[in-house]
Amino acid sequence: MVTDNYYDVNRLDYKIAKRHASISNPLDAALHAEHGLAYQIETVVNGDSHTCLFDFGSDANGVLKNMDLLKIDWKKVEALGLSHDHWDHETALVEILKAKKEEFSKNIPLYLGAEFFVGTYSKRPNGNISQLNLLKKEAVEELGFIRIVEIRVPTPIIPGAYLPGRIEQVTDYEKVAPNFLAKKGGEFVQETFIGEQAVILNAKRKGLVVLSGCAHRGIVNAVKQAQKMSGIEKVYAVMGGFHLINAKPDLIQKTVADIKAMNPEYIVPTHCTGFEAISAFLKEMPDKFVLNTVGTKYTI
């Protein structure tokens, strides 16, 4: 976990979670936390290792510091991906790419969902509308070594890790919050996050691992999409932002109940899940719950 909302230098290793720790100098473990999310994902397929980066947070200086402290080998990064077009997942991207330009392979793919650069907004409680996307397509293209790939169907980002292309909304309670807007034809309409992506993996002899960015289309929907596209029912781990912050108790209860019924071995809520929902998962799934902290390495 390259960055997330929460960091705890004293948090101990726990089950599949190995915490980043200082070797000699306490500052070696002083990682940056923010309202944002960034992942490094490594798969091993047929004995070969593959690495990608998924989401990039907002503070380039902080995220780059973390990447250096976590000793990410930039030359091994084969692909990049973004879950959706919100500032807390994308703003640091261009500065990171500029800083490490000489270390990336040329023509490296950046995977995005449909309608990524259309524009997304939020209606604030005072009635003002603020823009939430801060990444410009031109800024990425001008770098000269990034190949933007828009996907609409299940697509491997690296061997063993897939993006769904589209997450169908099949539950009757997971709805996009009405304050999220898109602009089409000069008018504001309800945002659908039609192109939102999650990372889906199948851990050998264990089951599915679903890694979400914000799950605006619903974390239960994301897991169900993973089951549908893979044909695998067993869920091993559900991790990431579940976007239940400020959610009504009924929505939190239904989400927790459905995830619990899927019986994953691990549940790791992060980022925008919200304190109340995180607490609910801990209460209902105490033996499966893992508290995430920045710099944690999960080995599955």
Q: Express as a percent the part of the chain with pLDDT over 90.
A: 92
Q: Mean pLDDT, to the nearest integer, of 136-148?
A: 97
Confidence tier at 151 by pLDDT (50, 70, 90): very high
Q: What is the pLDDT of residues 234-245, one digit of tens each?
A: 999 999 999 999
Q: Is the pLDDT of residue 87 over 80?
A: yes
CB 42 within 8 Å of CB 51: yes
In a domain, 11, yes or no: no
Residue 184's pLDDT is 85
In a domain, 2, yes or no: no
Q: Locate 150 and state its tokens.
A: 């828009």
Q: What domain range includes position 207?
A: 17-298
CB 218 within 8 Å of CB 244: no
Q: Is the pTM of this model over 0.75?
A: yes
In a domain, 145, yes or no: yes
In a domain, 289, yes or no: yes
Q: What is the CATH number of the domain that holds 53?
A: 3.60.15.10
3-class secondary structure per residue, the chain: CCECCCCCCCCCCECCEECCCCCCCHHHHCCCCCCCCEEEEEEEECCEEEEEEEEECCCHHHHHHHHHHCCCCHHHEEEEECCCCCHHHHCCHHHHHHHCHHHCCCCEEEEEECCCCCCEEEECCCCCEEECCCCCHHHHHCCCCEEEEEECCCEEEECCEEECCCCCCCCCCCCCCCCEEEEECCEEEECCCCCCCEEEEEECCCEEEEEECCCCCCHHHHHHHHHHHHCCCCEEEEEEECCCCCCCHHHHHHHHHHHHHHCCCEEEEEHHHCHHHHHHHHHHCCCCECCCCCCCEECC
Q: What is the pLDDT of residues 158-168, one digit of tens each?
A: 999 999 999 99
- As a whole number of angstroms, the distance between CA 239 and CA 257 comes to 16
Residue 185's pLDDT is 84
Q: Is the pLDDT of residue 29 over 90?
A: no
Residue 86's pLDDT is 97
CB 146 within 8 Å of CB 111: no
Q: Is the pLDDT of residue 57 over 80?
A: yes
Q: Locate 200 and state its tokens.
A: 């889906």
In a domain, 4, yes or no: no
Residue 200's pLDDT is 98
- As a whole number of angstroms, the distance between CA 107 and CA 8 comes to 37
- As a whole number of angstroms, the distance between CA 294 and CA 274 comes to 16
Mean pLDDT of the chain: 96
- As a whole number of angstroms, the distance between CA 101 and CA 31 comes to 23
Q: Mean pLDDT, to the nearest integer, of 295-300?
A: 97
Q: What is the pLDDT of residues 203-245, one digit of tens each?
A: 999 999 999 999 999 999 999 999 999 999 999 999 999 999 9
In a domain, 121, yes or no: yes
In a domain, 8, yes or no: no
Q: What is the pLDDT of residues 3-21, one digit of tens each?
A: 999 999 899 999 999 999 8
Q: Is the pLDDT of residue 294 over 80?
A: yes
91, 44, 45, 97: which is closest to 67 by C-alpha? 97
Confidence tier at 24 by pLDDT (50, 70, 90): confident
Residue 44's pLDDT is 97
Q: Residue 81 phi/psi, 5° resolution? A: -150, 150
Residue 186's pLDDT is 85
In a domain, 179, yes or no: yes
**Number of domains making up the chain:** 1
